[in-house]
Amino acid sequence: MESSPSDISPVDAANDLAILEQARSSVALNPVLDFGPLWYAPAFAATAMGISLAGRVDGAVTSAVFLAIGVIAAIAVSFHGIRNLGVLPRTTAKSVLAFVPMLITMWFVFAAWGTAVSTIGEDDFVPFWAALGWVLTTAFFVVVRQVVTAIRDRQPSLG
Amino acid sequence: MTLSNLDPLLTPPKRLAAMGIIAAATKVEFGYLRDELDLSDSDLSKQLKALADADYLTSKRTGKGKTRKSWFSITNTGQQALHSHAAALRQLLEPATPAPTDESTLAV
């Protein structure tokens, strides 16, 4: 005997479909909303930019070396961290779009540092500006962390 | 659409959520699933074993000792089962199509 729609009370189809959608969203968004490995690269690169300011004391070459070390460290730590992520999302429009805020943040940090570097002359007390820049960058990423954590907490839980 | 179109293996919500997560990823680690689904190790193992026994999932272990991890990926069979199950759920939500009346039958 066939069951009719009235027989389906044990199955909540709407809820089950919502569970599937939440599962897809969590996989696409969680790696970005966790302030973890994927954020290490911009954080490291921003710190390297700060160190490169201190390097300007000895000239552009030292500055470039600091920056290169910072970027290489950022890439290495990021790859190591990504390998330790518990999930490797499939490449979907949603998972790619999730990176847009991160890219905007990176651009903002780089632009801010670029502006700071260009406004500092050789006669300025560069280490002070570098230390101040590092503090500002740290404060900036603390704010970013609060924001992404708040966004993540608003995501519906699967548990 | 009837209940028989639903996959009984995917009916439990936690198991369905696990399948949804694994289907959305290339691979998922056991600890990630446990934390996301808020399940105990034994409960999650039970759910995953049921799915693996049905050839919906494959598992692979990496590392040794404390770094040992279990990774899960969905199989083609699992993808098809999940797709069919989701289609069945969507159809359950659609309003029932009215049976053709004698009048409409005559009009054709």
pLDDT tens track for B30-76: 999 999 899 999 999 999 999 999 999 999 998 888 778 899 999 99
Q: CA B103 → CA A76, B38, B69, B95, distances in Å?
A: 73, 55, 65, 22
Q: Supply the range of the domain harboring residue B96.
A: 3-107
How far is Cα A35 from Cα B62, in angstroms, rounded to an integer?
Answer: 25
Say if the Cβ atoms of A19 and B93 lie within 8 Å: no
A24 chain-B contacts, CB cut-off 8 A: 20, 23-24
* Chain B touched by A118 (CB under 8 Å): no
Q: What is the pLDDT of residue B78?
A: 96
Domain count, chain B: 1
Helix then strand count (H, E) for chain B reads 5, 3
A155 chain-B contacts, CB cut-off 8 A: none
Q: Which of B55, B33, B93, B27 is nearest to A83 (CA)?
A: B27
Contact predicate B56/B75, CB 8 Å: yes
How far is Cα A108 from Cα A90, in angstroms, rounded to an integer?
Answer: 28
Say if the Cβ atoms of B20 and A20 lie within 8 Å: yes
Size of interface A-B (CB pairs under 8 A): 93
Contact predicate A49/A133, CB 8 Å: yes
B32 chain-A contacts, CB cut-off 8 A: 85-87
User: With left for phi above 0 and alpha for psi between -120 and 50, is residue A2 left, alpha or beta?
Assistant: beta
pLDDT tens track for B72-96: 999 999 999 999 999 999 988 887 6
* Chain A touched by B6 (CB under 8 Å): yes
Residue B11 burial (C-beta neighbours within 10 Å; 0-12, 13-18, 19+): middle
Instruction: List beta partners, residue B73.
Output: B58
Say if the Cβ atoms of B26 and A20 lie within 8 Å: no
Torsion sign across C-alpha atoms A102, A82, A92, A19 = negative
- What is chain A's pLDDT, residue by residue, as a tens digit (159 residues)? 344 444 444 678 899 999 999 888 888 887 777 766 666 666 666 666 666 666 665 556 666 666 677 667 767 776 766 667 788 888 888 778 877 877 777 677 766 766 666 666 655 666 666 666 667 776 777 787 778 778 877 777 676
CATH no. for residue B31? Answer: 1.10.10.10
Q: What is the pLDDT of residue B96?
A: 64
Q: Tokens 């959608």, residue?
A: A21
User: With left for phi above 0 and alpha for psi between -120 and 50, is residue A59 left, alpha or beta?
Assistant: left
Torsion sign across C-alpha atoms A57, A58, A62, A66 = negative
Residues 38-67 of A with CB under 8 A from B: none
Model-level ipTM above the cut of 0.95: no
